[in-house]
Amino acid sequence: MMNKFSKITLGLTLLASVAVHAQNVGINTSNPDASAALDVQSTTQGLLIPRMTKTQRESINMVSGVSKPATGLMVYQTDNTPGFYFYNGTAWTTLSSGGQQLANGTAPGQIYLTGTTPPYAPQAPVTLSGDLAISSTGVATISNTNSSVYAAKKTTSLSLVTQTVFPTGFRAVNFVQAERTIGSAVLFSDTDNTYTIPSAGVYHIGYYFKYGTGLQASILPNSPGVGIVRTRAGVSTTIDSRPFSGANLLVLSLTISESSINSTYTFQAGDKISLGITGSTALTDQLLASSVAQFFIYKVSN
């Protein structure tokens, strides 16, 4: 018969055996996962970790009498900014700022920036506006550039191009991409010297042309002037034109051979815009070589 001392000795021996041989502990399971020191299983209850205030969390090292909390220590903070906090070995940080996600700003259109040093916690939110591009290195660029804007100027090698689809008497200026002063190259074609409307809407067009010196003898027939042609589904239409002006200067009959157009038009996506001269039959290549042409176009509304 075992006495009281023997029972105590046996109990201590069993406890020691469990401490030495147990590799992990399971709660609600007799087969805990081998990778877990503690495997808690339940379909009706969760795991509740210590809950405390911000002041209590920050005082853990003082309460425990150690220099700092253990790396990986986790608590749930109940005040200030409630949430799960863990100690990363250097500082306390929230799970939401641990590199997986960031909190939203405090108002629509806002986003949090992060600190520049670990733990990269969210800083004060900033308000974004316009178009935003973020590079692979995290650099943000905000731009309000109108992507439909295009402008070009031609002062040399100017000639006029004839196409069978153009209205009678119209010839387009041979603008090319190399002469653009602003805008995306994909908007303009060197093949047919046209600007392609990127999206439907209202566009503003400014076009200027000066023939030769701008003052020529009034022998030019066909009432030449500047014109804008729209080609849609293979059909070309003159949508606007302005004639050169005639004037009698110093008893000499001269033509003021320059004009401009500055107006708005409604276009469909894919429309092609050509800028040139109407009634251009008698214009000579010699004077075209000293002529000037320029235009701009951009979308103003949908």
Task: Give the tens place of pLDDT for each residue, 130-162.
Answer: 566 555 455 666 666 788 999 999 988 888 888
| Rounded Cα–Cα distance for residues 246 and 53 (Å) | 88
Q: Considering only CA atoms, which of 182, 175, 174 is closest in space to residue 151?
A: 182
| Rounded Cα–Cα distance for residues 26 and 33 (Å) | 8
With b meaning 16 or more CB within 10 Å and e meaning fewer, what string describes 29-65? eeebeeeeeebeeeeeeeeeeeebeeeebeebeeeee
Residue 25 lies in a domain: no
Alpha-carbon dihedral 297, 204, 300, 163, rounded to 10 degrees: -60
Q: What is the pTM assigned to this prediction? A: 0.53
pLDDT at residue 50 in the model: 93
The residue out of 84, 101, 118 marking a domain boundary is 101
Of 92-106, 200-214, 224-238, minimum mean pLDDT range: 92-106
Give residue 169's pLDDT band: very low, low, confident or very high (50, 70, 90). confident
Which domain covers residue 59, as residue numbers?
38-101
Contact between residue 86 and residue 98 where contact means Cβ atoms under 8 Å apart? yes
Residue 205 lies in a domain: yes
Give residue 103's pLDDT band: very low, low, confident or very high (50, 70, 90). low
pLDDT at residue 38 in the model: 87
Do 176 and 249 lie in one domain? The reply is: yes
Do 179 and 158 lie in one domain? The reply is: yes
**Is the bond preceding residue 119 a cis peptide, omega within 30 degrees?**
yes
Q: Of the ranges 56-65, 67-76, 171-180, 238-247, which is most confident?
A: 171-180
Do 226 and 286 lie in one domain? The reply is: yes
Q: Considering only CA atoms, which of 215, 193, 206 is closest in space to residue 300?
A: 206
* Nearby residues of 39 by Cβ (< 8 Å), 6 or more positions away: 24, 25, 26, 27, 29, 32, 33
Query: How many residues are listed for the chain in this entry?
Result: 302
Q: Is 85 helix (H, G, I), strand (E, B) or coil?
A: strand
Do 179 and 285 lie in one domain? The reply is: yes
* Nearby residues of 44 by Cβ (< 8 Å), 6 or more positions away: none
Do 94 and 60 lie in one domain? The reply is: yes
Do 132 and 204 lie in one domain? The reply is: no
Of 29-38, 104-113, 237-246, minimum mean pLDDT range: 104-113
pLDDT at residue 228 in the model: 97
- How do beta strands 131-134 and 122-127 pair? unpaired
With b meaning 16 or more CB within 10 Å and e meaning fewer, what string describes 95-134? ebbeeeebeebeeeeeebeeeeeebebbeebeeeeeeeee
Q: Which residue has the tokens 């109940």?
A: 78
| Rounded Cα–Cα distance for residues 98 and 100 (Å) | 6
pLDDT at residue 247 in the model: 55
pLDDT at 278 over 90: no
Do 176 and 262 lie in one domain? The reply is: yes
pLDDT at residue 51 in the model: 95
How many domains does the structure of the chain reveal? 3
Give residue 98's pLDDT band: very low, low, confident or very high (50, 70, 90). very low
Do 125 and 201 lie in one domain? The reply is: no
Structural tokens at position 48: 């509740």
Give residue 239's pLDDT band: very low, low, confident or very high (50, 70, 90). very high
Do 214 and 176 lie in one domain? The reply is: yes
Residue 247 lies in a domain: yes
Q: Is 62 helix (H, G, I), strand (E, B) or coil?
A: helix
pLDDT above 70: percentage of residues in the chain: 69
pLDDT at residue 14 in the model: 46
pLDDT at residue 18 in the model: 44
CATH of the domain at 209: 2.60.120.40
3-state secondary structure 101-113: CCCECCCCCEEEE
Mean pLDDT, all residues of the chain: 80
pLDDT at residue 258 in the model: 84
pLDDT above 90: percentage of residues in the chain: 35
C-alpha triplet 242, 244, 249: angle, nearest 5°? 145
Of 4-18, 186-200, 266-280, minimum mean pLDDT range: 4-18
pLDDT at 127 over 60: yes
